[in-house]
Every structure is written in structure tokens, then in C-alpha cells.
Amino acid sequence: MQIGLRTRCYPKPRLAITLAQWTGCQRVVGNAKDSEVNLLLWLRKRAILSPSWEGPDPQMEPFPLDQTFSQFKTDLTPWLSEVPSQILRNGVVRYKKGWSNHWKNPGHFRRPRRKKKADSNSVWLTRELFRFVGPGLVEIGTAAHPVGVLPFVQHRDIGEPNSIVITRASYGHWFLSYASDCVQGPEMLPDEARLKALSKDTDLESKVKGIDRGVVFNAACSDGSTFKLEDEAKEQVKWLEKRRKGYQRKAARGKKGSRRRDKVMGKAARCSARIAAINEDFLRKASYQIAKDAPEVTALEDLNLKGMTKRAKARKNEEIGQWLRNGAAAKSGLNKAMANAGLGNFRVYLEQALRKLGKMLILVPAHHSSQECSECGHTEAANRPDQETFLCQRCGHADNADLNAAKVIKKRGIALILSAGTADSAREGQARPGRPKGRGVVRRIKGEQPSAAPETRETPPSTEPVWAA
Ligand SMILES: [Zn+2]
């Protein structure tokens, strides 16, 4: 499995200036390409929006996309000629890749968009633009014209990635990212085959572990172990949040676009970054611990993470029982955003840790896992008198609510394995369901008359590059 890794790096001022320049050039070239594409799409739409047209949406269908960029080097953009041409080419290729990703999986990848200077600023470097020259050192620039050596934090052997991305965060930190397959675990059968083999196992009880992700305990396991952020770390997070709020208030009073305000915003962003770091540290360590203790299969509930970002709406939705609980607990103190990020990332980290050890993660349906009795299966809202306790209204089974949920998840995991390969598994839930729904799904409305559309879109999108305006 290839995964993206990101570490801090520390360019010296001169190199930082060069990298910022490269970043800007890649952004500009990508945006210029975007303008070209917008014109093409507009023309296509006009051409095909005749009354008889019933074909596909031009945005959803592949169209020819070249990788030329020399047309962007004009008298108005002398600075584009100052950077290595590979930088510009990479900008175009990156943009093109955005489209092919979108066509391959429109539910997951949006179409590439214009980037602003204030957006994430990164530069994509291919092999000819960097060389690893020692542990934690990467030389930037072509072999003939090296620009400088960039020190970075090397946590592990990173092999020889084909490309790297250098990002400057809004608060001034620099990051080096690359794809790595260092999470390659022992050679294993594909997940489906493994599940099928397991479904014939008679001792699933000891081979499956259920984990409930929550807010009181970040993770509660069906074997009784629990993991939560330590109080000390929690205090620190609280303190950072308070500080961040202070900076945000200060920034709100400042003048937009002023240096002073930008500085304050940077401080606020730095607080956010530190909170994220504390959270990630905990989640990584907890995941590793869980993975080490885990039997062959670990089951997690398939939380609706999309719904989590739309908190207000999700709270009304009775279908997503687990999610309702998180919202309530987050209200009572824990930072919402952090809880969200934590739950999502936890799955990713856990999967990485498990895979490294040759173990397996399955996702089970999450509905009402917090209200179901792990003994008799009775499901009722009244089973949860409060956040902590679970008391079955039918059989009287009493337990810690999170542990009960973990056991329910384990039960569902076993059921999922037993149904592996049957028609049931195809319908109910797969071992690792991708989510083809979500943003960017086809917007075309079937049967709609596109007659009025051309009049409303008279002005073609500008092909002028941004800098010419
Ligand atoms: Zn019961």
C-alpha cells in the first residue's frame, strides 16, 4: 500500500525564496491552463447544447488536454522564464492529473480548480529536480544547477520516491511530502479471499476485535481496553484553543490584508497546527498499541464522516445513531473539529498500523451501535440512560456504554465475515467500502430541456491569464 507521508523541513532563507517562487509559478501555470480548459468547456457546451443534444456532461467526460506551457511565457510574465522549465511542466502535468483523477473517481476528486495565493502553496518536484544527499538532506534543483540543500526530519527510511511535494503552510512552516510504500506489511492474500477463508473458521470469537470510536474514549475495544487523550494533553489543547481564540479575535479587529493582521492569523494557525500535532501523536501511538494487541481482524464502525463535517444537520438525522452521540459529547467540551479529524484519521492510522503487521481492518455498518444490547441484540434509545452507562431494557445487561458498543461492533464484524462471499455481503457492506457518493457527482438532470441555458451564459470565461488583468 502506498501512502502519503509528510514531515517538517527547514529551508534556509535563500532557498525558501526560490521555493516560494517555484510554488507561485506552478500555481500560475496551472491557473492559466484552467482558463484554457474553461474556454474549451464553454465552447463545447455551447456546441452541444442544441435542442437535440442528449449526450454526456462535458465536465464529466474526458477531453483532450495537452501539456504545453510555452504559450504562457509572454512579455508580461518574464519571471516564468526564470524558473527551470520542469517546474512549469510539472505545474501543467499536475493540473492535468487533477482532471484524470476526477474522471476516474468523480465522487472523490473534484475537478481541478483555480488556486489563490492564499490557498495551500506547494510545488511538485520530479526526479530531475531533487536528490537525496544524506540522511535528512535533499538537494533541490537540477543536477547542473542545484539551488540548495533542504534539511528535513527523517522519521524512517523513505526509499527513493519519484517525486516530492514541498509545501509552505499559511503559518510559515514548511513540509516535505512524498508517497512511500514503507507500510508494506507481510505478503497477504487479498482482503476478500482472506474474509472468505475466515468465514469457515470456527473460532472467530478470538480472532475478531471490535473498536468503538467515541469522544469520552477515543477508542474502546471489545476486550475491555480503552484509549483516550491524557488529561495533560487535553489541558494543553484547551490552553491552545484559548490562545487561538484570542488571536482570532485580535485578527477580527485588524485591517484586512495588513501585515500585522496576517501575523496574528499566522499565530492562530500555529496554535491549530500544534493542536493537530498533539492529536496525531496520540492517535498514532494508540493505533500502534491497538494494532499490536489486535487479533487477526479488527472491526470499526463505518462512520459517516461526511455527515460529521455537517454537524448541525447530522444531529437531526435519526438514522446515524453513533454520530448523534459524538455531537452531544463534543458540545460538552471537546473541540469539534478535533473530534472530527481525530475520528477520521484514527481509521487511517489504524489501518496503516494493522497492515504493517499483516492484520486486517473491516468496516461494519454503524447504525444504532450505541443503543444495541451486545447480549440480546435489543435496540432502544432508552438502553442509554446517560453518556456512560448502558442498561438493556429487555435483558438487564449492564455495561459501560462504549464497551458495549465495541462488543456490538465485534458481533457485527463476525456477522460480516460469516456472510463473506455470499450475496448478503455484497449488499450489506464490504470489507472496505469506497464511497462513490459525495461531492462532484454528476449534476446532469435527466429529461431537462436545456433550451434556455445558452442565453444565460453569454460571456465566455476569460482566457486571459491572471497576471494580465
Ligand atoms: Zn439485552
* pLDDT tens digits for range 379-401: 888 888 888 888 988 888 888 88
Strands ordered across the beta sheet of 219-221: 226-227, 219-221, 208-213, 297-301, 360-364
CATH for 191-228+287-428 is: 3.30.420
Better-predicted residue by pLDDT, 246 or 103? 246
| pLDDT given for residue 245 in this prediction | 95
Better-predicted residue by pLDDT, 96 or 304? 96
What ranges do the domains of the chain cover? 3-182, 191-228+287-428
The secondary structure of 315-384 as a DSSP string is HH-TT-HHHHHHHHHHHTTS-HHHHHHHHHHHHHHHHHHHHHTT-EEEEE--TTTTTB-TTT--B-GGG-
In the predicted structure, residue 40 carries a pLDDT above the cut 80: yes
116-136 average pLDDT score: 86
| pLDDT given for residue 64 in this prediction | 79
Residues making up the chain, counted from first to last? 469
Condensed to tens digits (0 to 9), the pLDDT of residues 276-290 reads: 889 889 999 999 999
CA of 408 to the centre of ligand 1 (A): 11
Instruction: Note the pTM of the prediction, 2 decimals.
Output: 0.69
Q: What is the mean pLDDT of the chain?
A: 79
- C-alpha span between 186 and 358 (Å, rounded): 5
The secondary structure element, H or E, covering residue 167 is strand 163-168
4-24 average pLDDT score: 91
CA dihedral 133, 139, 142, 144 (to 10 degrees): -70
CA of 215 to the centre of ligand 1 (A): 24
| pLDDT given for residue 20 in this prediction | 93
Other C-beta atoms closer than 10 Å to the C-beta of 115 total: 18
Q: Is 91 exposed, middle or buried (0-12, 13-18, 19+ CB in 10 A)?
A: buried
CA of 460 to the centre of ligand 1 (A): 65
434-442 average pLDDT score: 36
Q: What percent of the chain has pLDDT over 70?
A: 76
- C-alpha span between 152 and 171 (Å, rounded): 18
In the predicted structure, residue 461 carries a pLDDT above the cut 50: no
Q: How far is residue 39 from each of residues 61, 62, 364, measured CA to CA in Å?
A: 16, 15, 45
- C-alpha span between 425 and 430 (Å, rounded): 6
| pLDDT given for residue 314 in this prediction | 52
CA of 419 to the centre of ligand 1 (A): 24
Other C-beta atoms closer than 10 Å to the C-beta of 182 total: 15
27-53 average pLDDT score: 81
CA of 390 to the centre of ligand 1 (A): 10
Give the range among 148-157, 209-218, 456-465 with minimum mean pLDDT.
456-465
CB 247, CB 217: distance < 8 Å: no
Condensed to tens digits (0 to 9), the pLDDT of residues 45-102 reads: 777 666 655 666 666 777 778 888 888 998 888 989 889 999 999 999 999 999 999 9
In the predicted structure, residue 435 carries a pLDDT above the cut 70: no
- C-alpha span between 171 and 264 (Å, rounded): 10
* 436 pLDDT tier (thresholds 50, 70, 90): very low
Condensed to tens digits (0 to 9), the pLDDT of residues 169-197 reads: 878 889 999 887 655 667 777 777 888 88
Q: Which residues contact 271 (CB under 8 A, 6 or more apart)?
A: 240, 241, 243, 244, 247
In the predicted structure, residue 306 carries a pLDDT above the cut 60: no
**Quick one: cell of 461?**
470565461
**Quick one: cell of 469?**
488583468
Name residues with Cβ closer than 5 Å to ligand 1, which is an ion.
373, 375-376, 378, 392, 394-395, 397
Q: What percent of the chain has pLDDT over 90?
A: 25
CA of 209 to the centre of ligand 1 (A): 20
| pLDDT given for residue 2 in this prediction | 64
Q: Which residues contact 5 (CB under 8 A, 6 or more apart)?
A: 155, 158, 177, 178, 179, 180, 182
CA of 299 to the centre of ligand 1 (A): 21
Q: How far is residue 412 from each of residues 154, 289, 362, 415, measured CA to CA in Å?
A: 40, 23, 10, 5
| pLDDT given for residue 56 in this prediction | 64
CB 150, CB 132: distance < 8 Å: no
| pLDDT given for residue 169 in this prediction | 85
Q: Which residues contact 263 (CB under 8 A, 6 or more apart)?
A: none
- In a 3-state reduction of DSSP, which class is residue 140? strand
| pLDDT given for residue 358 in this prediction | 86
CA of 351 to the centre of ligand 1 (A): 31
397-418 average pLDDT score: 89
| pLDDT given for residue 383 in this prediction | 87
Condensed to tens digits (0 to 9), the pLDDT of residues 226-250 reads: 888 888 998 999 999 999 999 999 9
CA of 402 to the centre of ligand 1 (A): 15
Q: How far is residue 86 from each of residues 73, 406, 466, measured CA to CA in Å?
A: 14, 52, 21
CA of 398 to the centre of ligand 1 (A): 8
CA of 365 to the centre of ligand 1 (A): 20
